[in-house]
Structure 1
Amino acid sequence: MGNDNSSAITIDVDRNNLFYYSGETVFGIVRLNITGENLETREIYISLIGEIGYTTLSSSGRFGSFENENKIKFYYKKVSLSGPSITQQEFIDDCGRYAWLFQIPLIDNLPPTINQPDTFPHQWTIGISSLLSDALDIAPFKDVFWSTTNEPGSAYKPSPMEPLPEREIVIAILSTGPVSPGDAINYTDSKRIMKCCRQDGLILKPDRPITMIDLLISDWSQNNGNKQGELYSTQSTINEQIFYIIFASTMQRDYLIYPLLIGTHSGVIWSYENPLELIIFDNNHPLDVSANKCNSSSFCLWYVSPLWQFNDVNNTTYALMEKTQTTIVLEGSAAEIVQLLVYHSAMNVLNLKCFLSPITGQAQLVVTPSRVTCSGVNGDN
């Protein structure tokens, strides 16, 4: 049935946000207002169609690559509202107003399964797709994001918002792919965005894309295919020492994460929100990932560092190492001021301000059994 200037069709459903979950029923009403000539129809019906959209890249040789948009239909339901009798092929509706109630039950296994609101797949949940990307030696792209929660005037409907801009930025950085803010003019939060990089714009990304921890994947089979949250890890290697990052959000239950679950042995761990509190991380002291804390409206981020030792009389333990002195070269943009937190077991956590050389953009962090200093290379302070 078409819709021209002489007739108007409206469809109203039972909620404003148009968001439904598997197993629910869509209730609504279809209204038809015929204002001109009588309307001849074969059937009046409403259909609900579910499609998954994705893009692929194809190459045509010297003409470069082209992006193709693809769709896969995964759900279809048709509800007939009005039609002719058995002996009729079509029927005529007179001028006037018509209304039909409808209800469309949704099946329980809509892909992806979203029986729980907090597990609805957002474009920041890249933990699984990153596994494939990493295996192919490519960086995943988590899509653009807003650095500000609300941006009036957006073309997205009905009421778009970025609930946790910092979560979007963190995932973009840890994806190792592009960090792409898509803010409207005058809505860019530059302070938030610059957490991704050095002063000269170099993105501070890990060595590999952040991926789902295997334990979460194995738990799917024990929970009817429902994810128990987004619990990821990644790593960076500096001078043959491996440093890890653990991320958690939308957790459905608590987890204990042991070093072997992320491929390490032991070390110290601290959180993004409280870097002054260091905790031992080993088989006797696992990380407690709380579903109450790392929920759908928040995220948790931890950093894991190996413990190194000086071979001094007191057997002092450090997060940075050699025999009696360790010199670590810091690199950034010229004349940049870098704020550092350094753990020293004799002095706890030290807050240092390092002034990078205006010539080389480097500074030296020197650690001894009794002190920690930082100065620009070539004697610049």
Structure 2
Amino acid sequence: FGGYMLGDTHKSIGKWGDQTKDIRDGLTGGPLVIFDEEGNTLIISPLSEFMVASNWQDREVGGNIYWGLMGGIDEVPYHYTYMTIVCYAKGINKAFEKWGTALRKLYGSKENSLAQDLTLHRAGYWTDNGAYYYYKTEPQKNYEQTMLDLLNKTVFTFNYFQFDSWWYYKGLAGGVKLWEPRTDVFPHGLGYIYNKTSSLLALHNRYWSADTQYAKQNGGAYNFIVEDTGALPVDQIFWNDLLNKTLTWGLVMYEQDWLNVQFDKIKALKTNLTLGEMWLTQMNEAAKTNDVFIQYCMANPRHALQSLTLSQVTQARVSDDYSPGGEQWRIGVSSMFAYALGLAPSKDTFWTTDVQPGNRYKKSEPYTELNALVATLSTGPYGPSDMAGHIDYRLINRTSIYFGQLMHPSKPATAMDIQIIKHAFESLKMEIWSTYSMNMFKNTSLNWGTILAVETSGNVTLKYKDMDFLTPGVSYLVYDYKDVSSFREFKTSDNLVLPNNCTKSEFCLFHFVPKLEYGNNEIYMLGDVSKWIPASSTRIRSIVYQEADLLINLWGGANEEITIHYVFNGKLKSSTCPIKTTGWNCISMLTGKCVY
């Protein structure tokens, strides 16, 4: 891993040798993953002091790589400790899982924060680079009028709105001069938007300019380090005040973008041993005080690793900015890194309709379904950005239910080992990802698995042992998402052969369903197959084993009719139940009837 976007932009996969030259090191370097064709894997990374840790490859010697502190640090006190971790496992994904577990055990879990971050569980509308309304408004309207029109039209679909860098004041070198709504953009302020619509906000920020009005050097009230190329706040009270004022704006997520640029611009961040950690910690503490969560964008691996210590950092961008028709949906490898750190990976925004008249990019989006699916599989923010009147609600509804609630899997989809091994040793570039949705049955957790394949080359054979998401000792069915009747048994001796025609427009998606045994009956609960993730725990709230019945508890919107497909003793069946005003209903797997 190397570069920004959590080390995605300059990651490299290939064969290791004594003349290897493409290992990303230095300020933008990241964890090194070494594996063989059997999947035996080592991960080497810093274990502490993340903001000043660094690695270096001695290219004159060949393959030697060293870990330690950045060479520019001015002073290191006596008895100062820095740690490196080397983690081994059989399997690349297993190694990431083991490595991440060790790191999170040392620094603490973020499960509660992830569960509370609304932007990870509800659909939002985004206006960042790639969006229709990125530095663009409706004709003869300012942003306030444009956003109000959009908010009023989509309030029941989107629970929050992301406003990008167009809303605040910029100074020297494009940095932030004043993080307040521009009067020509929002004449009545952001509080007016919140009070008028009750819509919550995710707000973008970037690096601080050398002429920022907050700095004492420029007549402001706060202590900053100000250099020729930028500025950095060093007061906790600054961050407290900055985020406290957003309580009247409806802020739920603070997006700290341009992290790599802020780090690069300020020399003191590369010479002071503790400044980088203090900067991010102060930001986090203010967010915690004001009940706000943080997304990292353009983060170097060091920022990502530091987030292990920061409770409010729940998500991070793992791909470059969205561009209609582009390739930034390829997040399977970088999602492994994010998930190991306890972060929800974000693929960025996307369009749900291919043609957006008058868009500033002069492009179209031929892969709307793939982008929507990847956003769903990521478990990160789901944020379309179409122009008003061009939102495909049918596509959005494949992911969302009641008031924009998202049907995510239980973990982000990540590249399967076979994808990475074939890339490294055979130079075959394919996308083969897997994930699962976990539900409880008879006090045992069962995984409903999902595999996505795109741009396959030849007939790729996946063996049972490749499916590490399957629950051991449980029988499964597998079916193609396009044809629920295509189900077949998937035994330990079986293979799944991926066709060589899985493309971006006609991707391959397979679902694996565990057997639920009830007496002499064999039941496979497929779930709500109208959704990308049919057995998501957002919809399937519980599976209740009773002496006289087997019940599936469902969640949805009042009066919503939900159809659940299942295989009962070898026969495909379906039952439809309306959701009550309480948001619940229940289907019997024995009779197919609605219980409530």
TM > 0.5 fold call: yes
Matches within 5 A, 1:244-259: 244-259=449-464
Of 485, 494, 508 in structure 2, the residue corresponding to residue 300 of structure 1 is 508
Q: 1:150 to 1:243 in 2, by over 3 A?
A: same
Q: 1:352 aligned to 2:575?
A: yes
Give the Å deviation of 1:241: 1.4
Higher RCO (CA-CA < 8 Å; seq separation 6+): 2
Q: CA deviation at 1:67?
A: 2.1
Paired residues for 1:72-83 under 5 Å: none
1:234 aligns with 2:435: yes
Find out whether 1:203 has 2:412 as its counterpart.
no
Secondary structure of the residue that 2:407 maps to in structure 1? coil
For 2:594 and 2:368, the matched residues in 1 are separated by 33
C-alpha distance in structure 2 between counterparts of 1:219 and 1:121, whole Å: 23
Deviation at 1:66, TM superposition (A): 4.0
Uncovered stretches (5+) of structure 1, i.e. residues with no partner: 1-54, 72-119
1:220 matched to 2:423: yes
One-letter amino acid of the structure 1 residue matched with residue 564 of structure 2: L
What is the deviation of 1:68?
Answer: 1.6
Per the alignment, residue 260 of structure 1 pairs with 465
* Residue aligning to 2:498: 289
Contact 1:56 / 1:70 at 8 angstroms: preserved in 2?
no
Matched-pair contact (CA < 8 Å) for 1:310–1:324:
no
Kindly indicate whether the alpha-carbon contact (under 8 Å) linking 1:147 and 1:181 is maintained by their aligned counterparts in 2: yes
Instruction: Determine if contact 1:150/1:161 at 8 Å carries over to the other structure.
Output: yes
Measured in 2, the distance between the counterparts of 1:275 and 1:308 equals 18
Structure 1: distance between partners of 2:257 and 2:563: 43
| 1:198-249 CA distance string (max 9 Å, x none) | 133210001111100011111122224x42x111011111112111111111
The 1:56/1:134 distance shift into structure 2, 3 A limit, reads farther
Query: In structure 2, how many angstroms separate the alpha carbons of the residues matched to 1:137 and 1:241?
Result: 21
> Per-residue CA shift, 1:67-117, capped at 9, x if unaligned?
22758xxxxxxxxxxxxxxxxxxxxxxxxxxxxxxxxxxxxxxxxxxxxxx
Q: Deviations over 1:289-335 (max 9, x none)?
A: 1112x124321111111112222xxx331125856521121111222
4+ aligned runs moved over 6 Å, structure 1: 55-59
Residues 1:366 and 1:140: Cα distance change in structure 2 (over 3 Å)? same
Paired amino acid for 2:413: I
Q: Is the 8 A contact 1:140 1:177 kept in 2?
A: yes
Shift of 1:283: 2.7
- How much does 1:168 deviate? 0.8
- CA distance in 2 between counterparts of 1:248 and 1:262 reads 14
Shift of 1:267: 0.2
Cα deviation 1:134-164 (Å, max 9, x = unaligned) = 011111111111111122211114xx12112
Q: 1:268 to 1:57 in 2, by over 3 A?
A: farther
Aligned counterparts, 1:1-381, within 5 A:
60=233, 61=236, 62=239, 63=242, 66-68=256-258, 122-157=327-362, 160-224=363-427, 226-227=428-429, 229-239=430-440, 240-263=445-468, 264=470, 265=472, 266-292=475-501, 294-311=502-519, 315-319=520-524, 322=545, 325-345=549-569, 348-358=571-581, 360-368=582-590, 371-375=591-595, 377=596
Structure 2 CA distance for aligned equivalents of residues 372 and 180 of structure 1: 36
What is the Cα deviation at residue 262 of structure 1? 2.3
- CA separation of 1:57 and 1:208: change in aligned 2, threshold 3 A: farther
Decide which structure has the larger Cα Rg and report it: 1
Once residues 205 and 481 of structure 2 are traced to their aligned partners in structure 1, the CA distance between those partners, rounded to angstroms, is 36
Cα deviation per residue 1:261-292 (whole Å; 9 max; x = unaligned)?
A: 12124400112111122111123332221112
Deviation, 1:260, is: 2.6
The residue identity in structure 2 corresponding to 1:356 is: I
Distance verdict in 2 for CA 1:127–1:357, change over 3 Å? same
Hey, what's the Cα distance between the residues in 1 that align with 2:569 and 2:366?
39
SS at match of 2:594: strand
Change (3 A) 1:290 1:122: same
Instruction: Number of aligned residue pairs: give it.
Output: 262
- Which one has the bigger helix percentage? 2
Shift of 1:131: 0.5
Structure 1 residues 171 and 136, CA, compared in 2 at 3 Å: closer, same or farther?
same
* Aligned residues of 2:335 and 2:378 also touching (Cα < 8 A): yes
Which structure has the highest strand share of the two?
1
Tell me the residue number matched to 1:91.
Answer: none
Within 1, Cα distance between the matches of 2:549 and 2:408?
28
Q: Is the 8 A contact 1:250 1:297 kept in 2?
A: no
Q: Is the 8 A contact 1:325 1:366 kept in 2?
A: yes
The one-letter code of the counterpart of 2:506 is S
Task: Tell me the SS of whatever aligns to 1:205.
Answer: coil
TM-score by length of 1: 0.63
Counterpart-to-counterpart distance in 1, 2:326 and 2:513: 31
Taking only aligned residues, the RMSD between alpha carbons, in angstroms, comes to 2.5
Matched position secondary structure for 1:221: helix
How far apart are the structure 1 equivalents of 2:410 and 2:402? 20
1:24 — aligned with what?
none
Conserved? CA contact 1:356–1:363, under 8 Å: yes
CA distance in 1, matches of 2:337, 2:399: 24
- For residues 66 and 326 of structure 1, the distance between their equivalents in structure 2, rounded to whole angstroms, comes to 47
